[in-house]
Amino acid sequence: MDVRAYAKINWDLHILGKRADGFHAIDTVMVNVSLFDVLRFEAADGITLTCSDPTLPVDDGNLVVRAAKRLRELAGVKAGAKIHLEKRIPAGGGMGGGSSDCARTLLALNEFWKLGWPVERLVPIAAELGSDIAYFLYGGWCQCSGRGEVVERLPGSEKWPAIPLLLVLPPLHCATPAVYKALKASALPDGAQPRALKAVSTHVELQLSEIYRTAGSLEMYNSLTEASRAVEPGLLPVQDVLQRMYPGRWLMSGSGAVHFVVRKSDDDGAALQRAMDGIRAGIRVVNANTCALL
């Protein structure tokens, strides 16, 4: 069985404050993009993982292995799986590659082992393994709150068109814990609550309707932008170029280092690639689009 594990971007990201359990409360809109990893599952007695990226762990340090073992334990099955991960989503880029791989492992093994569990039964396992994994059990346009595990589909979003993007992939790594640690207390609102789902859906739909009609700002926001620059100063020249070429139409995804541009359909990214080549070697600009549904 071969399955695709799609990356995500944060269309917006609002940090609402620090919770009693030490996590930060968030309110974010996520959507899948057309960049994906590939997972291959074969029958086996135990749980083993190989990976095309030699820098990634293939033991219990990888969420794929932990997801497979936890599902096997809870389902009480004796079957195993030989898993191979073909890695295309940059690690540590804020696109949820590891979380997506984890969620797709749960979904695939649910089918591979013929468990027949509904997605809702997999959600607590996903939440146990990581904050944003539950999103990838659903995919598409969703509002995620809590520490990321509360997932609600944006009403009507299944009818929204695919949005053309340019993904900017710097050879930089932003460790999420370090970024949150660098987040200044003054940047956090006092007593903020997640936005109403219908209001969020209406706002995003209005943004999407303006993409082709204006070259102006789409009012995109990520609370972690300044903190990520403090952790990785190499992001600053990348963002300077984006603001000069696409003012108000770019954003960092998650805690970085990947950024995305909402582009016009006739923009192939060649000019942006030349500009990025001028500031740092190894920055890739990739054409992509949003995926409303997997």
Q: How far apart are CA 65 and CA 257, in angstroms?
A: 25
Tokens of 109: 């093994």
What is the DSSP-derived secondary structure letter of residue 185?
Answer: G
Query: CA nearest 31: which of 178, 129, 161, 224?
Result: 161
Eight-state DSSP code of residue 196: P
Which neighbouring-strand residues pair with 15?
26
Active-site pick, 2, 8, 181, 240: 8
Asked whether the beta carbons of 63 and 98 are under 8 A apart, the reply is yes
Is residue 8 among the annotated active site residues? yes
Do 83 and 105 meet the contact criterion of CB atoms below 8 Å apart?
yes
Alpha-carbon distance of 281 to 283, in angstroms, equals 6
| 69 is an active site residue | no
State both tokens at 158.
Answer: 């299944």
CA neighbours closer than 13 Å in the CB half-sphere of residue 99: 27
Q: Which of 27, 37, 101, 132 is catalytic?
A: 132
Q: Among 165, 163, 203, 162, which Cα is nearest to 14's? A: 203
Q: Among 142, 165, 140, which Cα is nearest to 153's?
A: 142
Give the number of residues written for the chain.
Answer: 294
Which active-site residues does the annotation give? Answer: 8, 132
